[in-house]
C-alpha cells in the first residue's frame, strides 16, 4: 500500500497575501519533486492551495465592500495565475472554503472530540488580531506587542475549545526519537525536539467572535481556529473520509514543504493532531530558508518585495526556476538580486548548457545537413563513467531535496560535453575527412543533449521540451521514464534535428 506513490504538498497560502518570491520558491521546489517522481514512474499527488478563512479576510472584505467569499474568489486568482506562468504542474488546488474541506475539518474535529482530545474551557490571553495568534506571556515583554508583527496586542477572554496538546508531548518525543528524518534539515529537527522538551500546552482551537470560519460541529457560535482548519487541508486533498482509495494510496507517502517560519505548526501541532486521530505521520517535513532581497530583509514596508510575475516577464520562467533551485542549498537562507540571477543564468545556462546544445546542432547542420546515424562502434569509458556518476549523484541528492546539488551533478555532463568539443575539434575532423569519427562525436553530443533534456526536465520543463523537439525526439519527455532514457544505449538509430535556436541568449550583453 502506498508503494510507488508520492504525495507532495506546499503550505496553503494565505489568500489575501500578494504572491512573492517565498511562495514561488516553495511551490517551484514542490513542482520539481513532483515532476521527478513522475519520471520515476510513480503515482504522484501534488497539492497546493489557499487558506481562505479568518478574521483578517472578514475585515478586508468589509473594507472592500464585498462578502468574504467574493473577496477570496477574486484574490485566489493571483496565485492560480502565477502558478500557470511558472509551469506548476499541481494535481489539485485546494481552497479551504470548499465544501469538501469544510466536511473533513468537521469530521476530524468530531473524531478528536470522540477520542477525548478536545474539550471546552475558557481562554484568556494576549491576542494579535492581524496575525490571529494568541501569545503566551513568556514570549512578551512589557510593551505587549506582537513578537511577529510588532503591533499592540489585545487582551481576550473567551469560552473556547481546546486541543489537548500537552497529552501528546511524550508520544511526540518518542516518535521523533525513532524518526530522525521526520524534520529536515537536521538543525530544524533539533530545534523542534528541544521545543517539545520545553513542554507543550493545550491549544485553544476555536474563536467565538470570528464568523468567517468553519463552525464547530454542534456549536455554531464557535468557529475553528484558522491554523487547525488549514493544516487539515493535507488530509482533505488526500481524500480522507471521502475517497478511501486515494487516501490509502497517498497518505502514507506524504511529504510537506514549508518555510521555516511556519515549521512549528507543521512539526509540532500537526503531528500531534494526527497522533490524536491515530493517523500515520508525514514521511518528512522539510523547512526551507528565507530570501533576502539585495541583502535586506524582504518586507512590504521596505517596498522591496520581489514580484515573481515581473521576474518572469523580464527573464523568462526557466531562468527564474533555475535560479531559485540552484543559487542556494535547500534549507539555507538565500539572497535574491537581479545581478545574481543574470550572472548565474549567463554562466550556467547560456555559456555552458545552451552553448553546448547550440554548437552541437550547428555542427550537425554544417557537416551532415541535420542528420546523424547511430555509429556502429559506440562505446566510451569516460562518457559511461561520467553519466553513471552524474546520475547516481542526481538520485542521491534528489532523495534529500538537495536541489542545488542535483543540478551540480547534471552539469558534470554539460562540462564534459563542452570539453569534448574542444578536445575532438570536429572542425578539424571535417577538414581531414575523418567522417566516421565525426559521426561518432556528433552522435555522442546529440545523445548527451537528449539525456540532458530528460535530467533538466523537472527544473526547466519548458526548455527541456523545446530541446527534446529540437533534436527530433518524438512525444513528450513526460511520456518516458527516467530509467528508459538515462543510458547511452537508449538513443535513436537516427537523429534528425531541427534548426538550432539559442535556448538561453545571454542577458548580460543586453543590460
The binding site for Zn ion (CB under 5 A) comprises 128, 131, 146, 148-149
CB of 135 to Zn ion, least distance (A): 8
Q: Is 207 helix (H, G, I), strand (E, B) or coil?
A: strand
| Cα-based distances in Å from 405 to 182, 258, 261 | 21, 20, 24
Contact (CB, 8 A) for 206 and 223 = yes
Q: Of 42, 103, 82, 114, which Cα lies nearest the Cα of 233? A: 103
- Nearest residue (CB) to Zn ion, 149 versus 501: 149
Least CB distance from residue 323 to Zn ion, whole Å? 31
Least distance (Å) between residue 145 CB and Zn ion: 8
Considering beta carbons, is residue 128 or 216 the nearer one to Zn ion? 128
Nearer residue to Zn ion within complex by CB, 128 or 342: 128
Handedness of CA 182, 185, 188, 190 (dihedral sign): positive
Q: What are phi and psi of 433, to 5 degrees?
A: 70, 20
User: What's the min distance (Å) between Cβ of 61 and Zn ion?
Assistant: 20
- Choice between 128 and 429, CB closer to Zn ion: 128
Question: In angstroms, what CA-CA distances link 497 with 201, 371, 407, 421?
Answer: 65, 6, 26, 18
Closest approach of Cβ 195 to Zn ion, in Å? Answer: 20
Report the nearest approach of Zn ion to the CB of residue 109 (Å): 26
Q: Which is nearer to Zn ion, 16 or 252 (CB)?
A: 16
| Cell numbers given for 378 | 559506440
* HSE value, Cβ hemisphere, 13 Å, CA-based, for 419: 9
Closer CB to Zn ion, 278 or 301, in the complex: 301
Shortest reach from residue 128's CB to Zn ion, in Å: 3
Rounded distance, CA 414 to CA 425, Å?
17
Question: Shortest approach of Zn ion to residue 266 CB, angstroms?
Answer: 19
Comparing CB distances to Zn ion, the nearer of 153 and 281 is 153
Could you identify the residue written with the cell 535547500? Answer: 330
The dihedral sign for the CA sequence 6, 36, 192, 131: negative
State which residue, 18 or 425, has the beta carbon closest to Zn ion: 18
Going across the sheet that includes 206-207, the strands are 206-207, 219-224, 215-216
Of residues 154 and 186, the one with the C-beta less far from Zn ion:
154
Separation between Cα atoms, residue 352 and residue 411, nearest integer Å: 9
Q: Measured at CB, which residue is nearest to Zn ion?
A: 146
Residue 54 CB, shortest distance to Zn ion, in Å, is: 13
DSSP 36-105: HHHHTT-EEEEEEEEE--SHHHHHHHHHHTS-HHHHHHHHHHHHHHHHHHTT---SEEEETTSHHHHHHH
* Pairwise CA distance, residues 371 & 355, whole Å: 20
Rounded CA-CA distance 453/464 in Å is 5
Amino acid at each position: 500500500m502506498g508503494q510507488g506513490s508520492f504525495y507532495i504538498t506546499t503550505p496553503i497560502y494565505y489568500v489575501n497575501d500578494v504572491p512573492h518570491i517565498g511562495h514561488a520558491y516553495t511551490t517551484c521546489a514542490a513542482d520539481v519533486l513532483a515532476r521527478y517522481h513522475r519520471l520515476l514512474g510513480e503515482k504522484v499527488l501534488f497539492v497546493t492551495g489557499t487558506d481562505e478563512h479568518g478574521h483578517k479576510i472578514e475585515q478586508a472584505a468589509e473594507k472592500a465592500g464585498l462578502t468574504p467569499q467574493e473577496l477570496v474568489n477574486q484574490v485566489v486568482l493571483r496565485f492560480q495565475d502565477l502558478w500557470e506562468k511558472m509551469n506548476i504542474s499541481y494535481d489539485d488546488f485546494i481552497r479551504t472554503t470548499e465544501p469538501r474541506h469544510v466536511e473533513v475539518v468537521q469530521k476530524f474535529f468530531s473524531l478528536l472530540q470522540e477520542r477525548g482530545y478536545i474539550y471546552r474551557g475558557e481562554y484568556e490571553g494576549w491576542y494579535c488580531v492581524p496575525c490571529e495568534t494568541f501569545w503566551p506571556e513568556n514570549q512578551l515583554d512589557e510593551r505587549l506587542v506582537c513578537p511577529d508583527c510588532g503591533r499592540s496586542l489585545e487582551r481576550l477572554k473567551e469560552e473556547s475549545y481546546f486541543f489537548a496538546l500537552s497529552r501528546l508531548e511524550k508520544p511526540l518525543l518518542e516518535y521523533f526519537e525513532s524518526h530522525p528524518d521526520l524534520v529536515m534539515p537536521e538543525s530544524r529537527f533539533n530545534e523542534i525536539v528541544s521545543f517539545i522538551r520545553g513542554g507543550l500546552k493545550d491549544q485553544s482551537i476555536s474563536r467565538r467572535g470570528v464568523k468567517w470560519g468553519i463552525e464547530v460541529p454542534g456549536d455554531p457560535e464557535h468557529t475553528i481556529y484558522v491554523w487547525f482548519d488549514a493544516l487539515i487541508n493535507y488530509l482533505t486533498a488526500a481524500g480522507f473520509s471521502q475517497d478511501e482509495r486515494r487516501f490509502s494510496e497517498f497518505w502514507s507517502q506524504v511529504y510537506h514543504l514549508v518555510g521555516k517560519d511556519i515549521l512549528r505548526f507543521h512539526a509540532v501541532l500537526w503531528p500531534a493532531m494526527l497522533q490524536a486521530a491515530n493517523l500515520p505521520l508525514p514521511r518528512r517535513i522539510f523547512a526551507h530558508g528565507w530570501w533576502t532581497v539585495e541583502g535586506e530583509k524582504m518586507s512590504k514596508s521596505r517596498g522591496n518585495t520581489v514580484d515573481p510575475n515581473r521576474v518572469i516577464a523580464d527573464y523568462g520562467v526557466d531562468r527564474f526556476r533555475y535560479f531559485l533551485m540552484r543559487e542556494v542549498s535547500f534549507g539555507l537562507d538565500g539572497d535574491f538580486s537581479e545581478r545574481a540571477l543574470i550572472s548565474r543564468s549567463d554562466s550556467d545556462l547560456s555559456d555552458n548548457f545552451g552553448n553546448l546544445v547550440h554548437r552541437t546542432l550547428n555542427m550537425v547542420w554544417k557537416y551532415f545537413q541535420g542528420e546523424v546515424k547511430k555509429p556502429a562502434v559506440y562505446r566510451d569509458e569516460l562518457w559511461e563513467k561520467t553519466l553513471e556518476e552524474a546520475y547516481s549523484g542526481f538520485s542521491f541528492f534528489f532523495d534529500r531535496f538537495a536541489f542545488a546539488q542535483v543540478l551540480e551533478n547534471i552539469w558534470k555532463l554539460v562540462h564534459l560535453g563542452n570539453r569534448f568539443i574542444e578536445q575532438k575539434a570536429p572542425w578539424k575532423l571535417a577538414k581531414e575527412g575523418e567522417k566516421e569519427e565525426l559521426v561518432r562525436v556528433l552522435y555522442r553530443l546529440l545523445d548527451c543533449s537528449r539525456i540532458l533534456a530528460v535530467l533538466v526536465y523537472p527544473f526547466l520543463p519548458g526548455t527541456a521540451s523545446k530541446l527534446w523537439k529540437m533534436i527530433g525526439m518524438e512525444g513528450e519527455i513526460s511520456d518516458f521514464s527516467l530509467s528508459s532514457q538515462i543510458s547511452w544505449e537508449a538513443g535513436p538509430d537516427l537523429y534528425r534535428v531541427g534548426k538550432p535556436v539559442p535556448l538561453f541568449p545571454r542577458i548580460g550583453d543586453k543590460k
